[in-house]
Amino acid sequence: MPGTPSPKEKNRSEKVFIRMSVDELAVARGNAEKYCGGNLSKWLRERAQNPMLDVSIKMQDERDEA
Is the whole-model pTM more than 0.85?
no
- Domain membership of residue 15 (yes or no) is no
User: Distances in Å between the alpha carbon of 11 and those of 6, 28, 56, 61?
Assistant: 9, 26, 29, 34
Concatenate the DSSP letters of all residues of 1-66 into one string: -TTPPPHHHHT----------HHHHHHHHHHHHHHHTT-HHHHHHHHHH-TTHHHHHHHHHHHHH-
What tens digit of pLDDT does each residue of 1-48 get? 466 767 777 777 788 888 999 999 999 999 899 888 999 999 888 888
pLDDT of residue 11: 75
Total number of domains constituting the chain = 1
Evaluate if residue 55 carries a pLDDT over 80.
Answer: no
- Domain membership of residue 44 (yes or no) is yes
- Domain membership of residue 56 (yes or no) is yes
- Domain membership of residue 4 (yes or no) is no
- Domain membership of residue 38 (yes or no) is yes
Structural domain range at position 54: 21-65
- Domain membership of residue 40 (yes or no) is yes
- Domain membership of residue 47 (yes or no) is yes
